[in-house]
Amino acid sequence: MSQRTLERVRAGRRPLERCAGDARSFLADDWGKRAAVRLDGPPPTGSASGGFEDLLSLDDVDRFLTTTALRSPFFRLVKAGERIAEAAYTRSGRAGSREVRGIADPARVAALFEDGATIVLQGLHRWSEPVARFCRDLELDLGHPCQVNAYITPPGAQGLDLHEDAHDVFVLQAFGRKRWEVHAAPAEAERDPLDVEVTSGGTIYMPAGTPHAARAQDVLSGHLTVGIHVTPWREVLTGVVGRMTAEMDDPVAAGWTSDVEGFSVELQERLAALASALGDVDVRTEAGERRERFLGTRAQLARGTITERVGPVVVDDDSVVARRPGSVCELSMRPERLVVLLGDRLLEMPSWLEQGMRQVARLDEDDELAVRDLALHVPDRGSRTVLVRRLVREGLLTIRDGR
């Protein structure tokens, strides 16, 4: 496990720990290797239960479907493994001069749910703030993109047939309970299927290709399925090779099928040239650029940015600022410049600002910083205020009222 992951665990930002228990042993023993069931979990911060109701509760589901004009494809209904036609539970409406289709019809959704239909909330990481934050932090821990769907199944409903997913999966039981049949993962030794009932707070991890089924049940169940799209080494290596061959777009000679020997000789020469070029690849630069691409495309979740921009952003040396809750700040050094990764964007700054930015990046959400406290690393008062003002505008920092 990386040092950054350990730091996040110690700081209390523990999505991986909530999913899998001890992060170190999970990554060493289970990750990508075998299915793992965890039947209870530690309560989330501020919660008295061990479940995931801070991410999703039945009341949340009710609110989404009855008060927010939720539209497909962000939700759907299924029954006995078959998708129910949208026309059976959606309606049309207007937004200004435009007709809008696929809006949830609460009464018909409720009737179908009562009749045994499962409600599926899709792409929950895109529109639910607590799920988006949990998913984003899990991405930062793992270094792989994640997505989240939720499944709310009424009592007496038929579960899913045996199937497997093309990506790794965490099942997080938010409320109620569900019975699962979990077969051996592709890398596991042959074994009998696990037959487990997962209750609130319980989790299942399944590597890609693990056959599993959700069994019929007699109680309400609400669970989150976190899909982890693990980057294969093939993708990394083909990306490097692709950049090395970018200048090899000249065409293969016409008539090559009549001169296989000549084609073979030229192919050998080009492979030798590629091998030589690959031997000169700066792997640290490649790794750093891939890191920047990943960390520069995560959700920023800078709630409050619009409210703070109602008026001019006024900053002086006496201003007190803090990290905006949910913000991301990772630093990367390039020759003569500093790259600041804020989740969904990156900022480029002069390299001499590195130590000042590291001071900012180390702030926890409960920490406060007076602008003048940056003087050790940013001696010029004007430069300090310009820097902090920009970080406020970019969503990393927020201004506190106290002086």
Q: What is the CATH number of domain 305-400?
A: 3.90.930.40
Burial class of residue 361, CB neighbours in 10 A (0-12, 13-18, 19+): middle
- Dihedral over alpha carbons 230, 14, 47, 57 (to 10 degrees): -10
Region 3-228: CATH code: 2.60.120.650
Alpha-carbon distances of 350 from 100, 135, 336, 339, rounded to whole Å: 48, 32, 7, 9
3-state DSSP of 138-193? HHHHHCCCEEEEEEEECCCCCCCCCECCCCEEEEEEEEEEEEEEECCCCCCCCCCC
The structural domains of the chain, with segments of one domain joined by +, span 3-228, 305-400
- Which two tokens mark 270? 């080009």
Q: What letter does residue 253 receive in the DSSP assignment?
A: P
What's residue 360's pLDDT?
Answer: 97
- Tell me if domain 3-228 and domain 305-400 are identical in fold: no
217, 179 in Cβ contact below 8 A?
A: yes
| pLDDT at res. 365 | 81
d(CA 361, CA 323): 8
How confident is the model at residue 402, as a pLDDT? 53
Pair 165, 206: CB distance under 8 Å = yes
Other Cβ atoms within 10 Å of 14 Cβ, number: 18
Q: What angle do CA 126, 128, 130 make, to 5 degrees?
A: 115
Residue pair 360/398 in contact by the 8 Å Cβ criterion: no
Per-residue pLDDT of the chain in tens (403 residues, 90 and over written 9): 444 444 444 345 479 999 999 999 999 999 999 999 998 654 444 443 457 999 999 999 999 999 999 999 999 999 988 999 999 999 999 988 999 999 999 999 999 999 999 999 999 999 999 999 999 999 999 999 999 999 999 998 877 889 999 999 999 999 999 999 999 999 999 999 999 999 999 999 999 999 999 987 789 999 999 999 999 999 999 999 999 998 888 999 999 999 999 999 999 999 999 999 999 999 999 999 999 999 999 998 888 888 887 888 899 999 999 999 888 999 999 888 999 999 988 999 999 999 999 999 999 888 999 999 999 999 999 999 999 999 999 999 999 865 4
Residue 210 to residues 37, 137, 182, 187, 190, Cα–Cα distance (Å): 13, 25, 7, 9, 12
Can you say whether residue 378 is alpha, beta or left, with left for phi > 0 and alpha for psi between -120 and 50 degrees?
A: beta
Token digits of residue 170: 């965490």
Q: Environment class of residue 127 by beta-carbon count within 10 Å: exposed (0-12), middle (13-18) or buried (19+)?
A: middle
b/e map 48-58, b = 16+ CB within 10 Å = eebbbbbbbee
CB distance 234 to 71 below 8 Å: no
